[in-house]
Structure 1
Amino acid sequence: MADSAFWEKVHQTAAKATWAYLATADGDQPKVRVVHPAFEGERAWVATGRNSPKARHIGKNAKVELFYQIMPPEMIHLTVTGKAQFVEDLNEKKRIWDGKIFDYDLAQFWPDGAASKDFGLMLITPARIELTSLPDLSVGKKPEVWRPAK
């Protein structure tokens, strides 16, 4: 499958699932939280409090995993493994804010806009993406896997 077709399926799955589970690490203890990410091309964005537990964990260990699930009958699983970093550049934060990358109003949480001190814009750069479904797995079909070109 061509990269463009794969990414189209990733974007459709993420949009349909809406919510994802974000796994971070607090020392040797995994932590999982519900987030509402947005894809832009081959990157995933998460808006969160800049002083949230997620932000503190990523400050110590940038490795993360996002997991989306579409419920039956499709029962699709999308797993994004990668590294997260917080974007501090105000121009980039404004670009994402003004570009309406997220399908909800960020001002609900940060009424002072992109320049809000607590507006944390997390960029997740995928190292591996796996897309599969329970129906496919039940007939022996292997998951589709994407990795960035080296």
Structure 2
Amino acid sequence: MSDSKFWEKVHATATKATWAYLATTVGSQPKVRVVHPAFEGERVWVATGRASAKARHIDKNPKVELFYQIGVEMVHLTVTGTAKFVEDITEKKRIWNGKVFDYDLSQFWPGGPESKDFGLMLITPDRVEVTSLAEMTTGKKPEVWRA
């Protein structure tokens, strides 16, 4: 499968899910939290409180994994990569005003993209995997993209 077809499949899969699980670490202890990410091409965005526990974890260890399980068809989408917080106000405004997220960010940050607590996390994937329960039961290998 070509890269463009793979990413089309990833975007279609992610669009079916509202929530994903973000794994971070504190020392050697994994921590998992529910997030509502948004894909933009090959990048993944997460809006979160800049003072949140996950933000503190990423500031210390930027390696993350994001996992989606989609619907009754049990499709699994896993994104492994590196996260960082974007502090550039121009980029924060671009994402905010570009409606990259499918929900109103001002529900959480009424002060807009300039809000002190608006944390814009960018996950740059190293590896992305798509599979389903149906495929796993037939022995089909997951589809994998690597940077």
Runs of 4+ in 1 over 2 A off after TM superposition: none
Output the amino acid matched with 1:143.
P
Corresponding residue number in structure 1 for 2:27: 27
Which secondary structure state, in structure 1, belongs to the residue aligned with residue 96 of structure 2?
Answer: helix
Q: TM-score under structure 1 normalisation? A: 0.97
5+ residue gaps, structure 2, are none
- 1:68-124 CA deviation, whole Å, 9 max, x = no partner? 00122x110000000000000000000000000000000000000000000000000
**Percentage identity across paired residues of the two chains:** 77
5+ residue gaps, structure 1, are none
- 1:22-58 CA deviation, whole Å, 9 max, x = no partner? 0000111100000000000000000000000000000
Alignment of 1:80-91 (within 5 A): 80-91=79-90
Within 2, Cα distance between the matches of 1:38 and 1:71?
18
Corresponding residue number in structure 2 for 1:47: 47
Within 2, Cα distance between the matches of 1:111 and 1:71?
32
Corresponding residue number in structure 2 for 1:96: 95
| Paired positions, count | 147
Q: Compute the displacement of 1:17 (Å).
A: 1.2
RMSD of the TM alignment (CA)?
A: 0.5
Within 2, Cα distance between the matches of 1:51 and 1:99?
24
Q: Does 1:76 align with 2:49?
A: no
